[in-house]
Amino acid sequence: MNVTVTPRAALERPEATVVGILLAASLCHALNDTIQSLLPAIYPVLKESYALDFGQIGLITFVFQITASLLQPVVGAVTDKKPQPFSLPIGMTSTLAGLLLLSQATSYPLILVAAAMIGIGSSIFHPESSRVARMASGGRHGLAQSVFQVGGNVGSALGPLLAAFIVVPMGQKSIAWFSLIALAAIIILSRVSFWYRDRRREMASRPARPIHYRYASLSRKRVIASVAVLALLVFSKHFYLASISSYFTFYLIDKFHVSVQSAQLHLFLFLFAAAVGTVAGGPLGDRFGRKLVIWVSILGALPFTLALPYVDLTWTAILSVIIALIISSAFSVIVVFAQELVPHRIGMISGLFFGFAFGVGGLGAALLGELADLTNIEFVYKVCSFLPAIGLLTIFLPNTEKKAA
């Protein structure tokens, strides 16, 4: 069955890779996620300052990530119908306000409000900036998503490192210095927004032409089922990552008695390796097919996650890096796979998957925090080690065509 695009879908048809815009989107993703990753990175500081238990720590992550996850698909669906190019700097302004409030918060409820404001900014940033990356991709959608997402991985890795050397020794109020990062992102996103507006106008003025969707022959029921499988794969990935990003420092401190700074450096290594893995996933999916890369990325991490809770500190560092390299390559491939399944709802799909990833991470952080209070942090990692087995569901995805490099 051949499908003719509507004018709105035709707007998503790129012609040449716009490297400057793609790099700007990736850089802003790095700046945005550097700010976001400060929150879990300063958990040891907040835990000591406010006498918080693991359940309260998990609730902070839950508020942030649920706020982001609930709004992202809504933002994506609205902007599919009515694009809002300048929503990008507006969303970053919310992140800036939340960051400043976090630096000055004097009570646990204010910390939750600050986390929610950062979450709102994230809910606006991710679906629209993901759309910008696709528009600038020149048809190399996997590569574009990897470049865009590696910015987020780099930012997530830098947050704990900066927290270790700035926030831990200088205290909570030093978080205010990171407002300079948010201001830089607002300036860059303002320039990107002008390009986004002009490109939409330019592409809207061109006549639509028929194209062939990769999955046009699939029934609506099969498309919905495939999207559901992709969502479950995101669940396995991000629920496991929640155990690392929120509790890895506590795990290392509790089991190996390392310092806070040493634990945060180990977290940085994990997150940096995740950034490296993200770069590879998209281009490999473009060349060899999305399904193959998902098989390797999700299920391939299982032997290493199963071994992690039973090794010494040196092997914990080694295995955590291997796990990050393998499992991080999945998300950009999953997002592009879903966009190809529903190509006329790019914003909604991007928002749905970024939002679901945040929501799963938030839910995972809250549940794992309660489990850690009831048992211990090492038991949490033994339970989570089985999560990549969900990768077996990849068998239910439709086969993809190999694409030329």
CA–CA separation, 314 and 291 (whole Å) = 33
Burial of 314 (0-12, 13-18, 19+ CB in 10 A): exposed
User: How many CB atoms are located within 10 Å of the residue 266 CB?
Assistant: 23
Q: Identify the pLDDT of residue 358.
A: 66
Residues paired with residue 17 on neighbouring β-strands, in sequence order: 137
Does residue 143 contact residue 283 with C-beta atoms inside 8 Å? Answer: yes
> Cα-atom radius of gyration of the chain, to the nearest Å?
20
Q: Identify the pLDDT of residue 13.
A: 45
CA–CA separation, 262 and 264 (whole Å) = 5
CA–CA separation, 382 and 374 (whole Å) = 14
- pLDDT < 50 stretches in the chain: 1-14, 210-212, 402-405
DSSP 3-state assignment of 124? helix
- Per the structure block, which two tokens stand in for 173? 């109020």
Number of Cα atoms under 13 Å in the Cβ half of residue 295: 11
CA–CA separation, 103 and 80 (whole Å) = 35
pLDDT digits (tens, 9 = 90+) for 224-262: 999 999 999 988 888 888 788 778 888 999 899 998 888
- Phi and psi (nearest 5°) for 137? -75, -25
Residues 77/82/86/87 CA torsion (nearest 10 deg) = -30
Q: Identify the pLDDT of residue 405.
A: 36
Mean pLDDT over all residues of the chain? Answer: 82
Q: Is the domain 13-207+215-396 a CATH 1.20.1250.20 member?
A: yes
DSSP 3-state assignment of 137? strand
CA–CA separation, 245 and 393 (whole Å) = 25
